Chain A
Amino acid sequence: MKKLLLELKDASLAAIAQADSVDALENLRVRYLGKKGELTAILKQMGALSERERPVIGQLANELRERLTGAIEARRAALSVKLLEARLRAEKIDVTIPGKPVDIGKKHPLSTVLDEVEEIFADMGFTIAEGPEIEYADYNFTKLNHGEGHPARDRQDTFYFTDDDKILLRTQTSPVQVRVMETQAPPIRVISPGRVYRKDEVDATHSPMFHQIEGLVIDKGITMGDLKGTLNTLLRKLYGERAVTRFRPHHFPFTEPSCEVDVQCFECGGRGCRVCKGEGWIEILGAGMVHPRVLEGCGIDSTAYSGFAFGVGLERLTMRRFDISDLRLIFENDVRFLNQF
């Protein structure tokens, strides 16, 4: 009988190992372990055994049952993994088919650059000041050291709302700085971005409306070195750590000393090319130390405080950044254009 069991063990384990489907496995289970199965059949003959043999054979038979049950389960698990793998292989899709469309809009390119500049200054502890676009001439000109006869006041350059030329469309965002200086005690660190207006006919590089970002720092002991340090930081963040800057003297009514800041041409590295018109440098912004007369006019003691101011044209920055050649595209708002940024 022991021999029979051993033969059954070898045969059944071999058969289980070779079963290639869940159905075949089930058939084997019935064949060996079922009520009418082969193991059961053998066990039915146990009665013929002696008292001494019966527990030995019984134990052997139980071990075989457990062994077979385990083998069938293991085989079933192996088969189902295979089955899953086969099914997943059959479910293969073409992942290069486009996704289900979801609308996503874009920032206007001017906003992209403006947000970036605002973030740079916000990180440096600047607040963002806003002010009216329809403004008093007093704030736009007089308090910014533009004398009564200053050419910028001419009606051919500036839009006016009143006969007495007292209310106008601001030509710069500097009046916001005046409003800040009049209402806020130093230390002052603000930038004032916004729309400004000048009487220029529309063409590839001109628009009667455009945007400026101006900055103002007022505190004790602010120096021209600080102005250079701050603007270097801005330009390196905008144009990369290796951006080379150049400060050269210039003239603005509300700063003294004044300067213009150039960045070495990215295209030619300063040798001179078409992009920089052979100069090797590209003019980016204007800046200077706030004129003591402007400080005094806003009620700030110019012997105790000093400061610097700077201004940059957002359209210029944006056009340079994205290689946009025609300013008109910026205000035309063709979605094929807007979608590129």
Chain B
Amino acid sequence: MKLSREWLNEFTDIKADTKDYCDAMTLAGSKAEGWENVGAGISGVVVGRILEIVRHENSDHMWICTVDVGQKAALTVVTGAQNVRKGDLVPTAADRATLPGGAAVHAGKLRGVESQGLLCSLKELGLDTHDYPYAIEDGVFVLQEPCKPGDDIKEVLALNDTVVEFEITNNRADCLSVIGLARESAAVFDTALRLHKPVVRGGAGSLSDRLEIAIAEPSLCARYTAKMVRNIRVAPSPAWLRRRLRASGVRPINNIVDITNYVMLEYGQPMHAFDYACVKGGKIIVRRARSGEALKTLDDKARVLTPDMLVIADTRDPIGLAGVMGGGNSEITGRTEMIVFESANFNGTSIRRTAIALGMRTDASGRFEKGLDPMNTVPAVERACELVELLGAGEVLDGTIDAVAAEPKEVTLSLDPERINALLGTDLTRDFMAGVLGKLGFRLEGDTIHVPAFRSDIAHCADIAEEIARFYGYDRIAPTVFRGAATPGGYSPGQKFMRGISAACRGMGFFEVMTYSFGSPNAWDMIRLPADSPLRRAFVIQNPLGEDTSVMRTTALPAMLGVLGTNLAKRNMNVKLFEPATVYLPAEGQALADEQRVLVLGEYGKDADFFALKGCIEALLTGLRIKNVRFEAVSDNPSYHPGRCARISCGERPLGVMGQAHPSAAAEFGLNIPVFTAELSVSALMAGVSGEPSYVPLPRFPAITRDIAVVCDSAVTVAALTESLHEAGGDCLESCRLFDVYTGAGIPEGKRSVAFSLSMRARDQTLTDEHADEIVRLILAKLEKRHGAVIR
């Protein structure tokens, strides 16, 4: 909301400088976003009278003017304008004058003749023909204002106003008006508020036999007030009115349109004017649009209406889209004889939805949607008629039609200073509170507060507390530390666990990423999920921004591949990433999703391979104290390389999957190199954490190590060999470490050599070499018998 301080001061007297004014209003809840001075940048421009005008000798289009600027010596000014005549009063910028936008005027020679200044056009003063319709665009602004040579042009054109831009919160529709802000300003600065009661002379006949109003949809229109004016004389509005509109960011059009806008700005009540000749049947009906009904609005666009939209209709067709925009079929024209002023109260939600559906938010709809005061319709329409008479724009008919569909109920509350002080942490007196409420237009009767109709936001004692706090000053409420029973606070076990995982991943060189929770259904195809995959059952957003963000993810693998792809495209050569991601799974018999945390890892680059990632996962699991972990080959996970994918489990509990992303899936994300990913269920990890460790005495006897290498079928897994090793080795086999896997020269086709380093130790004595050799013999026998493995 743009507020002209000149207009404001018609209702109260605020003398504070603009910065102080803005600060004080902001601290009282009307946030001033900034301000600008009308005519900013203009200096040294005065009224000049053309004393003499002669052709420039060296130019076929220039003139040399002698200009009286109210000083002893007249100025010589060269101009190229063709509309200047002797005796004209024109804005004259002398040497060193400045114009809007920072332009400076300098004396200088124009084709050999010294010019001591510049005769200004509208545009050079930052104006246009909407501000001064009598002036022309291409030429000097020939003034018709009362003024004399030497007068400062800013005074003459009243370019001395300041406009403050306010951000008004949604609950304060009343402050989207000069009067509303004047009321707030007067309360802030403790000045008198001068409200004006419109006076209409009327006398141009009666409207009751000309117009009838019916509200067919009372739930969407609480009140519809109308007055009529005849003998309309459409003309430009006077300068003062145009200036106020201009300051408020509204373009002046003509007196009738300008009056409706002026009243909207002053009272906050949107108005509309219909050409009475276009109201067929002399009857205005407020009803829902019929299905398929069409209306060409004032912006010349054809609108197709639906039954949830409210229209203003005559006995046949819609003539206006209620609260949004009038219809072209009832527009005021130069031939308009008689008009109907509409001042109505429409349902805010309905107006908002109509405006959104048709993509046409207007000043009027923006006000209606916040919920307006139904008591404002009559004063507003009377103010419009008063202005008609003041401007000589027509003759007002006697009488008002005021159709009331729903009587507004007065809200009353009780003033409870104790409760208010308890809520605010203050010690304010009842008198102070009563004073604040009084200034804001509340009426106090004993302890009963009568809430004024324009304050529809006030419905509770807490609302009253805010009014008191605003005018006491939030900044004056002393900051305190709350008391009460101590609460332990801190992180839950799950939150601590997640922090631990994150720290471990970072420690191993993985960067944390954050990706969108929603994605494209195409992503399922990209990671090659079969048509019947349960992961394709997802929460689907009905009104997404686009297909790319339309389904809640059931797997975070596409997002990880996407981020890896982005990084490769940016030529980041070695990349290791992790995301603690949430997936959203539909759950049987449950309306909301089963939201699960998944740890996703992804890497590519010089050192990335299956075993690099597996090593990190093993380290992570060890660090988290997750024991009995198994990796088993999986060849049927469609998103992974069939020969390089492992299911990870802890005992019987599946933890997740890891491997090389299927090259076809990776390629979908622009990854034409091997990439390795893992997906681990955080809840499964947490459930797999073994109990608190308890100390085991350190070994007192030495260990004996033996290295063995066996040759066996390539299909025999290291896991199978290891299991047999332990089985055969018994308690004395403390550990076995794989140190070599070899195929090639010396090893038959289809076989491989696998080498282990065995560490053996007895708990209660020093192990003898003989005993160690016996263990190795047992092991080798077992390997041969079970796996056909022979010592190399």
A contacts, CB < 8 Å to B: 102-108, 110-111, 115, 118, 121-128, 132-136, 148-149, 151, 154-156, 159-163, 167, 169, 187, 189, 195, 197, 199, 201, 208-209, 217, 219-226, 228-230, 232, 246-251, 256-260, 277-279, 289, 291-293, 306, 330-336, 338-339
Are B480 and A223 touching (Cβ within 8 A)? yes
Q: CB < 8 Å: which of A124, A187, A225, A293 contacts B480?
A: A225
B451 to chain A, nearest CB (A): 14
A204 to chain B, nearest CB (A): 16
Q: CB < 8 Å: which of B426, B465, B479, B578 contacts A105?
A: B578
A residues in contact with B461, CB < 8 Å: 292
Q: CB < 8 Å: which of B369, B505, B506, B592 contacts A136?
A: B592
A residues in contact with B353, CB < 8 Å: 154
State whether the Cβ of B508 lies closer than 8 Å to any Cβ in chain A: yes
Contacts beyond the supplied A122-B490, A260-B31, A289-B465: 10 A-B pairs with Cβ under 8 Å? A103-B508, A103-B509, A127-B490, A160-B543, A220-B484, A224-B423, A224-B426, A306-B422, A331-B514, A335-B577
A141 to chain B, nearest CB (A): 14
Known contacts A258-B466, A335-B575; A219 and B484 CB within 8 A of each other: yes
B residues in contact with A163, CB < 8 Å: 542
State whether the Cβ of B52 lies closer than 8 Å to any Cβ in chain A: no
Are B510 and A249 touching (Cβ within 8 A)? no
Identify 15 residue pairs between A and B in the complex whose beta-carbon atoms are under 8 Å apart, listed by A's number. A107-B512, A108-B513, A125-B486, A126-B487, A126-B489, A133-B593, A134-B552, A156-B543, A159-B542, A195-B517, A248-B27, A256-B465, A279-B33, A334-B566, A334-B572
Are A187 and B485 touching (Cβ within 8 A)? yes
A226 to chain B, nearest CB (A): 4
Q: CB < 8 Å: which of B172, B479, B582 contacts A228?
A: B479
B residues in contact with A154, CB < 8 Å: 352-353, 356
Known contacts A103-B576, A247-B475; A257 and B539 CB within 8 A of each other: no
Q: CB < 8 Å: which of A221, A226, A251 contacts B169?
A: A251
Are B491 and A128 touching (Cβ within 8 A)? yes
B residues in contact with A222, CB < 8 Å: 482, 484
B residues in contact with A332, CB < 8 Å: 566
Are B462 and A338 touching (Cβ within 8 A)? no
Q: CB < 8 Å: which of A220, A247, A335 contacts B567?
A: A335
Are A169 and B489 touching (Cβ within 8 A)? no
Q: CB < 8 Å: which of B172, B462, B514 contacts A333?
A: B514
User: Complex formed: what's the CA distance from A135 to B592 in Å?
Assistant: 7
| Shortest Cβ distance from B469 into A: residue | A257
B 160-190 binary contact with A (CB < 8 Å = 1; else 0): 0000000001111000000000000000000
User: Complex formed: what's the CA distance from A229 to B563 in Å?
Assistant: 42
User: Complex formed: what's the CA distance from A278 to B543 in Å?
Assistant: 38
Are A159 and B515 touching (Cβ within 8 A)? no
State whether the Cβ of B155 lies closer than 8 Å to any Cβ in chain A: no
Are A161 and B540 touching (Cβ within 8 A)? yes
B315 to chain A, nearest CB (A): 31
User: Complex formed: what's the CA distance from A259 to B27 in Å?
Assistant: 10
A118 to chain B, nearest CB (A): 8
Are B482 and A226 touching (Cβ within 8 A)? yes
B 223-259 binary contact with A (CB < 8 Å = 1; else 0): 0000000000000000000000000000000000000
| Shortest Cβ distance from B32 into A: residue | A279
User: Complex formed: what's the CA distance from A125 to B510 in Å?
Assistant: 32
Are B424 and A132 touching (Cβ within 8 A)? no
| Shortest Cβ distance from A218 into B: residue | B484
Known contacts A221-B484, A224-B425, A229-B482; A105 and B489 CB within 8 A of each other: no
Known contacts A128-B495, A219-B484, A251-B172; A160 and B542 CB within 8 A of each other: yes
State whether the Cβ of B584 lies closer than 8 Å to any Cβ in chain A: yes
A residues in contact with B584, CB < 8 Å: 133-134
Are A257 and B466 touching (Cβ within 8 A)? yes
Are B31 and A248 touching (Cβ within 8 A)? yes
A289 to chain B, nearest CB (A): 6
Are A278 and B511 touching (Cβ within 8 A)? no
User: Complex formed: what's the CA distance from A159 to B545 in Å?
Assistant: 9
B residues in contact with A102, CB < 8 Å: 509
User: Complex formed: what's the CA distance from A246 to B544 in Å?
Assistant: 38
State whether the Cβ of B477 lies closer than 8 Å to any Cβ in chain A: yes
State whether the Cβ of B591 lies closer than 8 Å to any Cβ in chain A: yes
A residues in contact with B499, CB < 8 Å: 115
B361 to chain A, nearest CB (A): 11
State whether the Cβ of B334 lies closer than 8 Å to any Cβ in chain A: no
A residues in contact with B29, CB < 8 Å: 248-250
Known contacts A229-B480, A306-B422; A224 and B469 CB within 8 A of each other: yes
Are A228 and B460 touching (Cβ within 8 A)? no
A129 to chain B, nearest CB (A): 9
A residues in contact with B172, CB < 8 Å: 251
In the complex, chain B residues 532-591 whose Cβ is within 8 Å of any chain A Cβ: 539-545, 549, 552, 563, 566-567, 570, 572, 575-578, 582, 584, 591
Known contacts A103-B576, A292-B461, A333-B514; A127 and B492 CB within 8 A of each other: yes
Are A111 and B424 touching (Cβ within 8 A)? no
A residues in contact with B474, CB < 8 Å: 224, 228, 247-249, 257, 259
User: Complex formed: what's the CA distance from A225 to B460 in Å?
Assistant: 20
Are B507 and A104 touching (Cβ within 8 A)? yes
Are A133 and B517 touching (Cβ within 8 A)? yes
Are A128 and B492 touching (Cβ within 8 A)? yes
Are A228 and B422 touching (Cβ within 8 A)? no
| Shortest Cβ distance from B27 into A: residue | A248
B594 to chain A, nearest CB (A): 9
A residues in contact with B739, CB < 8 Å: none
State whether the Cβ of B531 lies closer than 8 Å to any Cβ in chain A: no
User: Complex formed: what's the CA distance from A247 to B482 in Å?
Assistant: 18
Are A134 and B592 touching (Cβ within 8 A)? yes
State whether the Cβ of B595 lies closer than 8 Å to any Cβ in chain A: yes
A143 to chain B, nearest CB (A): 15
B residues in contact with A257, CB < 8 Å: 423-424, 462, 465-466, 469-470, 474
Q: CB < 8 Å: which of A105, A123, A151, A251 contacts B369?
A: A151
User: Complex formed: what's the CA distance from A292 to B459 in Å?
Assistant: 11
User: Complex formed: what's the CA distance from A250 to B166 in Å?
Assistant: 13
User: Complex formed: what's the CA distance from A249 to B549 in Å?
Assistant: 36
User: Complex formed: what's the CA distance from A133 to B584 in Å?
Assistant: 9
B residues in contact with A335, CB < 8 Å: 511, 567, 572, 575, 577
Are A293 and B514 touching (Cβ within 8 A)? no
User: Complex formed: what's the CA distance from A334 to B575 in Å?
Assistant: 10
Are B511 and A151 touching (Cβ within 8 A)? no
Known contacts A187-B487, A208-B549; A169 and B423 CB within 8 A of each other: no
B residues in contact with A292, CB < 8 Å: 460-462
State whether the Cβ of B481 lies closer than 8 Å to any Cβ in chain A: yes
User: Complex formed: what's the CA distance from A146 to B543 in Å?
Assistant: 21
State whether the Cβ of B463 lies closer than 8 Å to any Cβ in chain A: yes
| Shortest Cβ distance from A103 into B: residue | B509
In the complex, chain B residues 405-426 whose Cβ is within 8 Å of any chain A Cβ: 422-426
Known contacts A221-B422, A333-B514; A230 and B482 CB within 8 A of each other: yes
User: Complex formed: what's the CA distance from A122 to B576 in Å?
Assistant: 31
Q: CB < 8 Å: which of A169, A189, A199, A232 contacts B487?
A: A189
- The 5 A-B pairs with the shortest beta carbon distances in the complex, nearest first, are A103-B509, A223-B425, A225-B425, A249-B29, A149-B349
B518 to chain A, nearest CB (A): 7
Max count, chain B CB within 10 A of own CB: residue among A106, A258, A335: A335
Known contacts A122-B491, A127-B489, A256-B462; A226 and B509 CB within 8 A of each other: no
A136 to chain B, nearest CB (A): 7
